[in-house]
């Protein structure tokens, strides 16, 4: 990250985005200065304004999830919750400071549009998917209650670093994922995902 780059705008932008992603995730928007980001990237701070316009626009660009991850909707429906748990809790998010981007973004949730982006992502990525699986009444509420569990697990594992959640493996959680998902969705779910 610090090795000298020959003059190369795309590579410099990429380096800035990478540093920004990490800093903003780990320290939040306000605690991160453009000078910090530039120093991490080994780049002159003014390039941030040259390339992104402002600190806020750098933040926006750095924290929009790149939809890089394989779509979690693929695969057997009865494994969906297990797949989501695997993504939120067990995926390697070291590029985001060790937390799921959604969880990291909570640290910048004083910015009103960040709240909105979190809401959109939670709803579209998790609630909507769960809602279709609910068998019974209160589909929206039950889907949100399950989403809340995922968010909470991510937070307890990576932010709060509660002992049992920090040490847990996917197989440890499987039976409880199965039980709670089955209970909340009202249809049989399994706690293990075939793909990671």
Partner DNA sequence: TCACTAAGTCATCGAATGGTGACTTCGCAC
Partner DNA sequence: GTGCGAAGTCACCATTCGATGACTTAGTGA
Interacting residue ranges for a second copy, rule: CB under 8 A? 26-31, 106-107, 109-110, 115, 118-119, 122-123, 127, 138, 140-145, 147-153, 155-156, 159-165, 168, 172-173, 176, 179-180, 183-184
C-alpha–C-alpha distance, residues 115 and 71, integer Å? 23
C-alpha–C-alpha distance, residues 135 and 188, integer Å? 10
CB of 51 to DNA, least distance (A): 8
Query: Sign of the CA dihedral 98, 161, 148, 24?
Result: negative
**Range 37-56, binding DNA (CB under 7 A):** 43-47, 49-50, 53-56
| 2 binds DNA, rule: CB under 7 A | no
C-alpha–C-alpha distance, residues 140 and 93, integer Å? 29
Interface residue with DNA, options 20, 34, 89, 181 (CB under 7 A)? 34
Interface residue with DNA, options 33, 64, 109, 194 (CB under 7 A)? 33
Instruction: Convert 3-41 to b/e letters by CB count within 10 Å (16 or more is b).
Output: eeeeeeeeebbebbbbbbbbbbbebbbeebebebbbebb
HSE value, Cβ hemisphere, 13 Å, CA-based, for 155? 11
Window of 6-14, 73-81, 107-115, 119-127 that interacts with DNA by CB under 7 A: 6-14
Tokens of 69: 């991850």
C-alpha–C-alpha distance, residues 98 and 118, integer Å? 18
| 32 binds DNA, rule: CB under 7 A | yes
Tokens of 40: 């991490």
CB of 63 to a second copy, least distance (A): 15
The binder of 54, among DNA, a second copy, none, by C-beta within 5 to 8 A per type, is: DNA
C-alpha–C-alpha distance, residues 151 and 87, integer Å? 11
| 108 binds DNA, rule: CB under 7 A | no
Compose the 56-85 pattern: x for residues touching DNA by CB under 7 A, - for all others: x-----------------------------
Interface residue with DNA, options 18, 27, 36, 61 (CB under 7 A)? 36
List residues near DNA by CB under 7 A: 5-9, 11-12, 32-36, 43-47, 49-50, 53-56
């Amino acid at each position: 990250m610090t090795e000298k780059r020959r003059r190369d705008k795309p590579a410099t932008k990429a380096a800035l985005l990478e540093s920004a992603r990490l800093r903003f995730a780990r320290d939040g928007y306000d605690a991160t200065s453009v000078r910090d980001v530039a120093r991490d990237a080994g780049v002159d701070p003014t390039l941030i304004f040259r390339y992104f316009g402002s600190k806020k626009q750098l933040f926006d660009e750095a924290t929009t999830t790149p939809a890089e991850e394989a779509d979690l909707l693929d695969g057997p429906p009865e494994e969906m919750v297990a797949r989501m748990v695997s993504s939120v809790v067990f995926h390697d998010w070291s590029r985001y400071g060790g937390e799921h981007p959604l969880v990291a973004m909570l640290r910048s949730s004083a910015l009103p549009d960040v709240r909105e982006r979190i809401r959109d992502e939670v709803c579209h990525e998790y609630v909507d998917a769960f809602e279709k699986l609910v068998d019974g009444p209160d589909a929206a509420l039950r889907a949100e209650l399950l989403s809340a569990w995922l968010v909470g697990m991510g937070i307890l594992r990576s932010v709060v670093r509660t002992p049992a959640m920090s040490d847990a493996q996917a197989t440890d959680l499987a039976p409880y994922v199965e039980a709670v998902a089955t209970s909340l969705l009202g249809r049989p779910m399994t706690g293990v995902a075939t793909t990671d």
